[in-house]
Amino acid sequence: MKNIKDYFKNHKPAGYTAVILASVLIGWGLRGCGGENNKTPLESTHNDEISRENVEIWTCSMHPQIRLPHPGKCPICGMDLIPADSGRESGLSGSQIHLTGSAVKLADIETVPVERKRVAAEIRLTGRVAYDETRVRSITSRVSGRIDKMFVDFAGINVKKGAKLVLIYSPELLSAQKELQGAYKLMRDVEKTSDSSLYEIAVKTYESAKAKLLLFGITQQQIDDILKSDNISEHTVIYSPLDGIVLEKKAHEGEYVEAGAEIYKLAELSRVWVLLDAYESDIEFLRLGLAVRFQAESYPGRNFIGTVAFVDPVMDNKTRTVGVRVNAPNPGYALKPGMFVRSILEAEMDSDERTVETSSLIMWTCPMDPQIIRDSPGKCPICGMDLVKKMVPSGAKPKAASRPPLVIPATAPLITGKRAVVYVKMDGDSAVFEGREIELGPRAGDYYIVKSGLMEGELVVVKGNFKIDSALQIKARRSMMSPEGKAPVAHHH
């Protein structure tokens, strides 16, 4: 070292420069001789693969927007660049990627064929049991009078049709009975004469008095007894018009009531309503006649069956739900009004993504009482109106004639916003996968209905699709998050 320093002191600057150049050349020569031997086996293998694949584009695994024609360091993060394209992928489009057999096994990729099959959308709704409003009756007094006897003392009693409910004393009723007896006697006396006009007037008077008593709630049998016995009853009896449960008792014995005053409220509970709340996303699956299975907390494991009879045409602005009314039989009066229930609706879909009708016999219904459903025209047993032909929902077809929809498993599409992307395996046994944007219909259970973008028999990836999508993103190609094939620019501080 001392000799070198003395040398530099005794020589001119030009000689100093020559020595420096000689040292540099010697270092490069030594690096060229031993540098290759200093590489690790992984680096040598990697470079050999790169030379075999004729790599032309290099990118950064952290910043795929960096694309250079030669290897080197990433100008953003300093990481080593990796090959982006190879000879095997030179003929692929921007949405396709080639994976080796080992890569497919490592990514655990599974595919299934696109198929046509019948699927059912399972809709879960909650609601409560309510009275069938068409089977609720108010028992009122048809005359003014005093309640002398109440045969039903409290609410909750089960009464039969025709059973006595209340006994009312009414002066108005007494005068109406006397009027009937007088008109009847006059008609019999005039009948013996030959004056037809007088007899016609007597008959009309009798019919008017009889109609008045019928309006007061007197039965035809009671009228016949009045005429036969010639005795006038001081009381009128109110009978139950149906079999049912007394919901409310609104009067007491000894109370004076006016005509029209409500005394009892009865409900027939052999059939009940189940009132459900459906969200906006479930409306397209709702159809009249759809079978509903529901359970109540009071009967774990016991299923009740009903039928959709009415869908509310107006949405509740507060809850953003639509009311659905289900008519259900109530065996043994097990369902109590007010119970909470959980229901399941299974709506089968056809090829037009519409609900298939569950019953082909539902053809005629009453416009005022839609729960009345018949397979032929006739009269409504409740209101007497003519039954009208049921309107078949637009696009619905008979179950036997409808075409099964095109479906894929729910794990196949990658959904982001309004886009849905699936990865399709190309050309049978090849390891080329193509990303394809498709249009989905509603979800039906574990499947999505496909509107467009796929054909029957194509193989879609149901497992490992996120890994394929990540590989495309690394290569800055079209993917789920990058439809244009441009990777987002990372910001570094």
Neighbours of 22 (CB within 10 A): 10
Task: Determine the average pLDDT of the residues in 399-407.
Answer: 70
Task: Determine the average pLDDT of the residues in 292-309.
Answer: 90
Spatial contact of 265 and 247, defined as CB atoms under 8 Å apart: yes
Question: Are both 96-117+405-474 and 136-267 of the same fold?
Answer: no
User: What is the number of residues in the chain?
Assistant: 493
Half-sphere exposure of 211 (CA within 13 A, CB side): 6
Task: Determine the average pLDDT of the residues in 394-402.
Answer: 44
Per-residue confidence (pLDDT) for residue 372, from 0 to 100: 72
**Distance from C-alpha of 475 to C-alpha of 487, rounded to nearest angstrom:** 9
- The least confident of 141-150, 208-217, 231-240 is 231-240
Per-residue confidence (pLDDT) for residue 350, from 0 to 100: 63
Task: Determine the average pLDDT of the residues in 295-305.
Answer: 91
Closest CA to 287 of 306, 313, 316, 309: 309
Per-residue confidence (pLDDT) for residue 357, from 0 to 100: 47
What values do phi and psi take at 134, rounded to 5?
Answer: -75, -10
- The least confident of 210-224, 310-324, 355-369, 397-411 is 355-369
Per-residue confidence (pLDDT) for residue 395, from 0 to 100: 35
Per-residue confidence (pLDDT) for residue 6, from 0 to 100: 54
96-117+405-474 CATH: 2.40.420.20
Task: Determine the average pLDDT of the residues in 357-372.
Answer: 60
Per-residue confidence (pLDDT) for residue 220, from 0 to 100: 84
Task: Determine the average pLDDT of the residues in 45-51.
Answer: 42
> Where are the strands (E) in 133-288, listed by range?
136-140, 145-150, 158-159, 164-169, 235-239, 244-249, 256-257, 262-267, 271-279
Task: Determine the average pLDDT of the residues in 218-245.
Answer: 81
Task: Determine the average pLDDT of the residues in 284-301.
Answer: 86
Task: Determine the average pLDDT of the residues in 1-29.
Answer: 48
- Nearby residues of 279 by Cβ (< 8 Å), 6 or more positions away: 320, 321, 322
Spatial contact of 436 and 95, defined as CB atoms under 8 Å apart: yes
Residue 1 has pLDDT above 70, yes or no: no
Q: Which of 75-79, 383-387, 398-402, 479-483 has the highest mean pLDDT?
A: 75-79
Q: Which of 32-46, 126-140, 178-192 has the highest mean pLDDT?
A: 126-140
- Taking every pair of Cα atoms in the chain, the longest distance, rounded to a whole number of angstroms, is 173
3-state secondary structure of 259: coil
What values do phi and psi take at 13, rounded to 5?
Answer: -60, -30
pTM, to two decimals? 0.59
Q: Where are the domains of the chain?
A: 1-38, 41-90, 96-117+405-474, 121-133+270-389, 136-267
CATH 2.50.20.10 holds for 121-133+270-389: no
Per-residue confidence (pLDDT) for residue 370, from 0 to 100: 64
Per-residue confidence (pLDDT) for residue 103, from 0 to 100: 78
* 335-to-135, 137, 261 alpha-carbon distances in Å: 15, 19, 30
Residue 251 has pLDDT above 60, yes or no: yes
pLDDT tens digits along 95-142: 778 777 777 888 888 889 999 988 887 888 999 999 988 888 888 888
Per-residue confidence (pLDDT) for residue 351, from 0 to 100: 56
Per-residue confidence (pLDDT) for residue 340, from 0 to 100: 95
Per-residue confidence (pLDDT) for residue 343, from 0 to 100: 92
Per-residue confidence (pLDDT) for residue 443, from 0 to 100: 83
More confident residue, 378 or 342: 342
Q: What average pLDDT is seen over the chain? A: 77
Say which amino acid occupies 467: K
User: pLDDT confidence of 402, banded at 50, 70, 90?
Assistant: low
3-state secondary structure of 190: helix
Options 3.40.50.1220, 3.30.70.1350, 2.40.50.140, 2.40.50.100; CATH for 136-267 is 2.40.50.100
Per-residue confidence (pLDDT) for residue 390, from 0 to 100: 62
